[in-house]
Structure 1
Amino acid sequence: MKIKKVLNNNVVIAQNDNEETILMGLGLGFGKKAGEVVEDKKIEKIFALKVTSEQQNFSELLSEIPSGIVELSILTLAKAKTKFDKTISDTVLVAFADHLNAAIIREKDNITIKNFLLWDIKRFFPEEFALCLETLQKVQEKLNISLPEDEAGFLAMHIVNGTLGSGHEYATELTKLMEEILTTLKYTLQVNFNEQDIYFQRFITHLKFFTERILSNTKSDESTDEDLFLLITRKYPRAYIGTKKVSEFLKQTRSYEVSQNEQIYMTVHLARILEKIQD
């Protein structure tokens, strides 16, 4: 690979055939110029973006973003990949860095944007949110600029978006749908969920995958065990009332038919939560 642009001593943009790549490594760009060959042994982190006619290239997109912000964004996303053990689209780097840079500019201009999904983001994506709070802390340490936690919420959604492989609107829709389901359950079952309870947290994890299937209209391909379905619904009648209400809600609002297998999983999760509340 050859260097296309040096962002700072540790970050360069390189060209490899039809692919532009952001490379990071200690001293990787020190004393280097465009056209020189990258020292492979110094490469520590790689973010690649295949350039298409619909996309601008990395150098254009990042030309107005300070290199320190790009480097901090790379470190955050690299940590997210390791910590969450998930594939995160490299294209998120540009959106993440651009948002972080814009947030800093807004703060300098005393402009604040309220994140109306902040509470839900904290509930549904606590690890991504915590990681982005660390990023804001580093901005404070390096630039002496204090960003509101609303921005950590926005940045967390970029990470969620990267794991879903869809647009930012998709991640927002996912969050809103999870909240709609929880609200339906809360009022149907007349309970206040303990969000620190391990069973509730496991249910939230299940709910994330469930809502992803709904938004992508992907059905469970597991065969249905009719006897098991009847056993679960009879054993946990109150929990099943909640599941049935959610199923009706999704059919009415999303035209999504909740399979019996999905109803079984949800009912079992709810039964555990309800048992814990009653204890």
Structure 2
Amino acid sequence: MEIRKVLNNNVVLATDSDGSQVILTGRGLGFQKSAGQQVDASKIVQVFTPTSREDYVTLRDFLVDISPEYVGLARMIVDAAEAAWQTTFPQALIVALADHLVFAVKRAETGTVTAHPLKAEVSHLFPNEYQLAQRSVAMAREQGHLPLSDEDAVAITLHFVNALAFATSDLSKTFAMTEILAQVFDVLESAYDRDFATEDVNTARFITHLRYFFARAASGQQLSEQPHAFNTSVRDSFPEAAQAAQKVRAVLELRLGTTLTEDAATYLILHIARLTGNLRKDPR
């Protein structure tokens, strides 16, 4: 790759083999280098491919102010997550995690670490992501020698959930989704007078269904294809679940500011029926 512009000693703008512009990070990558020279590939920590001029400016401004070690550690965490879930995350997750690591270290060094307000909800609703986030904190301590707090596992979990559900760097939707999920379980636990353990496969499926619903609702793509007779049959077959689903529907519509389609409401009934042990066969 050929250097187009040296942004600082650790960050350069370069041209890839296919002619596209990329931002490269790595310790000493731009040291005593100039435009037209070849990049030392052995020093590259991460390759970022801007998708627009705005994206380039955002990445440039962020990367010139951050140590490449934080970017490299964030890349390691993302690699572990991609391997665990057999998926590919957007490069925005690396940026978000690197940024989190920087401020987590500052909080630890200044003694301003506080308990995360959503810790109970996050660890309960997203146990798999939380477990991997705890491993990420351990990785940051052991391999990056960073003084991260146990509380950082909560924030890292939310970054994972956000990337899986919304593929954006904005955590506001994920914060809202977490709070709504907790409220939904409050409604169901009251309706059925029981707790729902997230270790149970049906509870995990229900949470996954709602996460996909949130993603579809956020993009205005709710389900709407089943015949009216199917929706009526489901309501008649599972009256208790239908009654509980009506309460959950009211919460979702109020919190999301949107109206659920009849198909979305029907699948909600089916998932509640399965969650509560009233459905033996997978509706899908």
Does 1:2 pair with 2:2?
yes
Query: What whole-Å deviation, never above 9, does each CA across 1:91-133 have from its counterpart, x for those lacking one?
Result: 3322221210111121111111331112222233333333332
CA separation of 1:203 and 1:91: change in aligned 2, threshold 3 A:
same
1:175 to 178, 190, 204: 178
Matches of 1:87 and 1:145, distance apart in 2: 26
Secondary structure of the equivalent of 2:14? strand
Query: What whole-Å deviation, never above 9, does each CA across 1:56-95 have from its counterpart, x for those lacking one?
Result: 3534312332322211011212333343344422133222
Does 1:202 pair with 2:201?
no
Task: Give the drift of 1:28.
Answer: 10
2:275 corresponds to = 273
Does 1:116 pair with 2:117?
yes
1:64 corresponds to = 65
2:262 corresponds to = 260
The aligned runs of 1:169-248 (5 Å cut-off) are 169-221=172-224, 223-248=225-250
Q: Give the TM-score normalised by the residue count of structure 1.
A: 0.81
Q: Do the aligned partners of 1:236 and 1:271 also contact (CA within 8 Å) in 2?
A: yes
Q: Give the TM-score normalised by the residue count of structure 2.
A: 0.79
Q: Do the aligned partners of 2:231 and 2:262 also contact (CA within 8 Å) in 1?
A: yes
CA separation of 1:253 and 1:68: change in aligned 2, threshold 3 A:
closer
Matches of 2:85 and 2:63, distance apart in 1: 26
Matches of 2:144 and 2:96, distance apart in 1: 20
The aligned runs of 1:111-190 (5 Å cut-off) are 111-142=112-143, 144-163=145-164, 164-166=166-168, 167-190=170-193
Matches of 1:34 and 1:81, distance apart in 2: 35
Q: Do the aligned partners of 1:7 and 1:67 also contact (CA within 8 Å) in 2?
A: no
Secondary structure of the equivalent of 2:79? helix
1:38 corresponds to = 39
Between Structure 1 and Structure 2, how many residues are aligned?
270
1:50 corresponds to = 51
Matches of 1:232 and 1:192, distance apart in 2: 24
Does 1:101 pair with 2:68?
no
In structure 2, stretches of 5+ residues that fail to align are 279-284
Matches of 2:74 and 2:87, distance apart in 1: 17
Q: Do the aligned partners of 1:20 and 1:58 also contact (CA within 8 Å) in 2?
A: no
- One-letter identity of the residue aligned with 1:73: A
Q: Do the aligned partners of 1:20 and 1:50 also contact (CA within 8 Å) in 2?
A: no
CA separation of 1:264 and 1:211: change in aligned 2, threshold 3 A:
same
Query: What whole-Å deviation, never above 9, does each CA across 1:179-220 have from its counterpart, x for those lacking one?
Result: 222222222332211221111111111110112233344321
Q: Do the aligned partners of 1:23 and 1:44 also contact (CA within 8 Å) in 2?
A: yes
- 51-60 vs 193-202, greater mean Cα deviation: 51-60
Q: Do the aligned partners of 1:236 and 1:267 also contact (CA within 8 Å) in 2?
A: yes
Matches of 2:208 and 2:234, distance apart in 1: 21
Matches of 2:157 and 2:63, distance apart in 1: 20
Matches of 1:122 and 1:229, distance apart in 2: 34
1:74 corresponds to = 75
Secondary structure of the equivalent of 1:212? helix
Matches of 2:55 and 2:48, distance apart in 1: 19
Q: Do the aligned partners of 2:130 and 2:154 also contact (CA within 8 Å) in 1?
A: yes
- One-letter identity of the residue aligned with 1:190: D
Matches of 1:143 and 1:80, distance apart in 2: 17
Q: Do the aligned partners of 1:200 and 1:273 also contact (CA within 8 Å) in 2?
A: yes
